[in-house]
Structure 1
Amino acid sequence: MRDREKVFIHTLKQSGATFGIGDDGVSVGTYLIANDAFFEDIHFKRAWASLEDLVEKCFLVNLSDIYAMNAIPSFLLLTLSVPDNFKEVSKLAQIIGDCAKKYRIKIIGGDTLVGEKLHFSLTLLGQKRQRTLFRKGIKQGNILGYITPKGALNHAKMQSFGQNLKILKNSLRFCRDKKISKYSRFAKPLLYPKMLFELNNIAKAGMDISDGISLELSRLSQVNRLGFKILKQKGDWLYSPEEYQMLYAIERRNLKKMQKKAWKFRHQFVPFAVAIRGKYIAKKQNWHE
C-alpha cells in the first residue's frame, strides 16, 4: 500500500495547482526554497533532548535540504506553535535567534500560535550556487552511494551511517521519557557543507536521506523512471531514517574520484546500488507513518 504522503502528493499534483514538487526544495529565481516540519510526538519527544538540541536539530533538518541542492542558506520563515502551558517562550526565542546566527541565516517572518504541543515549521531560502543538484538525472549504469564518516571524526561511531534505526527503536521502546545520546546522528546530525559542495559538483543527481534509503530509492525510481539493483547485503543501512547524509548517483567512471574527494573530508562514499531498467518499490513504510 502506498504511504499517505505519496497519495496526498499524487492527488495534489493531479489538480494542476503545483510547481516543482518532488525534490528537496524548489528552484525559484536565484533561490532554492525548502520547507520541513518538526512536530512533537511525531518527529521528536520533549524528553529526548534539551530545548537547545531540539531547536538545532530542527535547523539542521532544513539546512540539509538546502545543502543537498547545492545552495547557501540565507533566509528563514518560521512558523511556531507552543503549548498553552509552555513557560520557556523567551528562552526558546533566544535559542532560535542564536541558532540562526550560528548558521548565518536571517529570520524574515513567519507566524506564532498556541497549540497543544511544540511544533516547528521552517521555510529556508538558499542562494543558488553555480550548479543546482536535483533528484532527476540518473541514467542506466549510474552508481548510487551514500556518505558516512570515517577516521578520527568526533563521535564517528555514533555518527556513522545506519545507526539511527537501532537508536530510534530503543528510544521508542525503552527511552520514551529519557534523554537519548546527544552525540548520535539521530539526536544531532553533523553536516559538512564544504564537503557537500565539492561532492555535489561530481554527482549526476542527489538527495538527502530523511526516510531511509529504501524509501528514497522509490522516490528516485519514480522521478527517473528507473529501477535499482542493490549490490550490498541488506541491513539497517537500507532502512535507517533521519540520517541527513547524502545519497548520490554518479557515473561509474567517477567512482574513485568521488571516494577520493569524500576521503579528503574523512568520509567514505559507499556504493550500494546500480541504476537499471525497471522500477523500485519500497517494502517498508516511513517510521512515523
Structure 2
Amino acid sequence: MHVADLTEEQLLALIVPELPLGSSTLLGPGDDAAIVAAPDGRFVVTTDVLVEDRHFRRAWSSGEDVGRRAAVQNLADVAAMGAVPTSLVVTLAVPGELDVAWVVGLARGLAAVCGPLGVGVVGGDLSGSPLVVVSVAAHGDLQGRPPVLRSGARVGDVVAHAGVLGRSAAGLALVDRAAAGGTAGPGDDDVSHDGLVTAYLRPTSPLPAGPEAARAGATAMLDVSDGLLRDAGRMARASGVRLDLHADAFAADVTELANAALAVGADPWAWVLGGGEDHGLLATFGPDAVVPASFRVIGRVESRAADDPAVTVDAVAPAVGPGWDHFAGRPD
C-alpha cells in the first residue's frame, strides 16, 4: 500500500497512535495546535530538517532509521542548551508512491527515541513532495536554570565531551563503500565493525548529560553535529577564546576506528576530529567545577589573539579538515 492510496486522514490514523503523548503535553494531536506545559515560563525551541538524498537515502535507511535520526538531532540541540526535552512537532512531505509502511516506521522511530524520555510528538503537518522531507521542531524546559550558551567559555576552563566521536562518519564511509560495490557495508558481519553502520543510520546522543552539565555549572555547551573541530571553532569564536584540544584524549577513539579506516582507506583521525552526526555534547567548565562523569576532559580554554586559530590540537593548528559544510555538500 502506497501513500497515494490513502487520504490524509487515513494516513494520520495510522501514524498518530504510534506517537508518544509525553509527560508535559496538556493537549495532543487532533486540534489546530497542541498545548505543552511550560512551568518555567520560558521554553527552548529548535528546528532541523532531513532531506532525502541530501541527509539520507531510502536505499539504505528505513523509515525507523530516519525517525530516530530526526528525533536525536533535534533533542540534542535542546539538551545542549541545558534543557530537558519536552515535545516535538513534525512536518512530513512524501511522494505518493512511498510505501505506507515506511511512514509508519518513521513514526515508530520517533517514538523509540522520544517515548522513554517522556517527550511528546504532539503534532505537525503532512504534504506531498517529490522527495521525503522530515522537518522537526523540538521544545525543552530549562527548569528554572539559565540557558548554557556557546558563548560562555572563559580562559582557564576545561573542555569536555560527552558521547562518541567519529563513529557515524565511519559508518557512512562503510555504507558509501558498499554502495560503490565494495565489500564494506550494512549486513556484512565481517565489516560492520562493532555497530559503526548502525551508529550512522541511528545515531544516539547522551541527552541527559546536557541538563546534568548545566546543573554542574557548565559555562558553554553545544551539540557536536558537524564535526568536533568545526563545532569547537563555533564555540571558540562565539566566546572570543581558543580551544586547545589534547591529542592523547582521542587515542582510544582512533584505536577503535582503526580497522574500519583500514578497510575503506581512510584516516581515523579525520573521522574523530572532523566527522559529524555523532551528536555528542561539547562543554566547558570552570577550573574548580566537578565535571560530570558522563563527560571526559579533552582540552583547555586558552586566550586567543586576533590571528590565532580558533581551535588547536596540542597548541598546533590541526591538519584535519574542520568538518561538514551543508552548502559545500562535503567535508572540508
**TM exceeding 0.5:** yes
TM-score (norm. length: structure 1): 0.73
SS in 1 for 2:296: strand
Corresponding residue SS for 1:164: helix
Query: For residues 34 and 144 of structure 1, what CA distance do their matches in structure 2 show?
Result: 24
CA–CA distance in structure 1, aligned partners of residues 160 and 301 of structure 2: 9
Distance 1:168 1:52 in 2: 17
- TM-aligned CA distance change 1:186 to 1:275, over 3 Å: farther
Displacement of 1:120 in angstroms is 0.5
* Structure 1 residue matching 2:68: 3-state secondary structure: helix
1:146 maps to what in 2? 161
CA distance, structure 2, for counterparts of residue 113 and residue 54 of structure 1: 17
Task: Give per-residue Cα distances to partners, 1:236-283, cap 9 Å, x unaligned.
Answer: 3211211111101112233xx31xx31xxxx45132343322353575
Residues 199-218 of structure 1 mapped to structure 2, 5 A cutoff:
199-202=213-216, 203-218=218-233
**Paired position in structure 1 for 2:136:** 122
Residue 54 of structure 1, aligned match among 44, 49, 66 = 66
Question: In the alignment, which residue of structure 1 is the partner of 2:274?
Answer: 239
Three-state SS of the structure 1 residue aligned to 2:288 is helix
What percent identity do the matched residue pairs reach? 22
* Change in 2 beyond 3 A, CA 1:162/1:128: same
Q: Would you say the 8 A contact 1:229–1:276 is kept in 2?
A: no
d(CA) in 1 for partners of 2:304, 2:228:
19
- Greater shift, 89-98 or 127-136, is seen at 89-98
For structure 1, which runs of at least 5 residues remain unmatched after alignment? 1-27, 149-159
Q: Pairwise CA RMSD of aligned residues? A: 2.9
Alignment of 1:1-289 (within 5 A): 30-88=42-100, 91-92=104-105, 94-95=107-108, 98-99=111-112, 100-131=114-145, 132-148=147-163, 160-175=164-179, 179=186, 184-202=198-216, 203-232=218-247, 235=269, 236-254=271-289, 257-258=290-291, 261-262=292-293, 267-278=294-305, 279-280=308-309, 283-286=321-324, 288=326, 289=329
CA–CA distance in 2 between the matches of 1:176 and 1:49? 16
Q: 1:227 to 1:53 in 2, by over 3 A?
A: same
TM-score, with normalisation over the residues of structure 2?
Answer: 0.64
C-alpha distance in structure 2 between counterparts of 1:52 and 1:269, whole Å: 31
User: How far is 1:77 from its partner?
Assistant: 2.0
Q: Secondary structure at the match of 1:121?
A: strand
Cα drift, residue 210 of structure 1: 0.1
Q: What is the DSSP-based 3-state SS (H/G/I as helix, E as strand, rest coil) of the residue aligned with 1:65?
A: helix
Residue 46 to residue 176, structure 1, CA distance change in 2 (3 Å): farther
AA partner of residue 49 (structure 2): A
Specify the code of the residue in structure 2 equivalent to 1:161: L
Q: Secondary structure at the match of 1:145?
A: strand
CA contact (8 A) 2:64 2:107 kept: no
Separation in 1 of the partners of 2:119 and 2:173? 33
Task: After TM superposition, give the deviation of residue 60 of structure 1 in Å.
Answer: 1.1
Letter paired with 1:284: P
Gaps of 5+ in 2: 1-39, 251-268, 312-320
- Give 1:102 shift: 4.4
Say if 1:213 and 1:240, in contact at 8 Å, map to a contact too: yes
Conserved? CA contact 2:91–2:125, under 8 Å = yes
User: 2:171, 2:199 within 8 Å by CA — same for their partners in 1?
Assistant: no
Q: Distance in 2 between matches of 1:214 and 1:96?
A: 30
Q: Quote the residue 1:23 is aligned against.
A: none
Shift, 1:36, TM fit: 0.9
The whole-number CA distance in structure 2 between the counterparts of 1:227 and 1:209 is 17
| Paired residues of 1:45 and 1:176 also in contact (CA < 8 A) | no
Q: Which has the larger radius of gyration?
A: 2
Shift in CA distance, 210/91, structure 1 to aligned 2, threshold 3 Å = same
- 1:190-221 Cα shifts (integer Å, max 9, x gaps): 33444432223221111110001111122112
Q: Helix, strand or coil: the match of 1:161?
A: coil
Letter in 2 for 1:269: R
- The 1:76/1:268 distance shift into structure 2, 3 A limit, reads closer
* Post-superposition CA distance 1:112-132 (Å, at most 9, x none): 211121111100111222322
User: Which structure is richer in relative contact order (CA contacts within 8 A, separation 6 or more)?
Assistant: 1
Between the aligned partners of 2:206 and 2:111, the Cα distance in structure 1 is 20
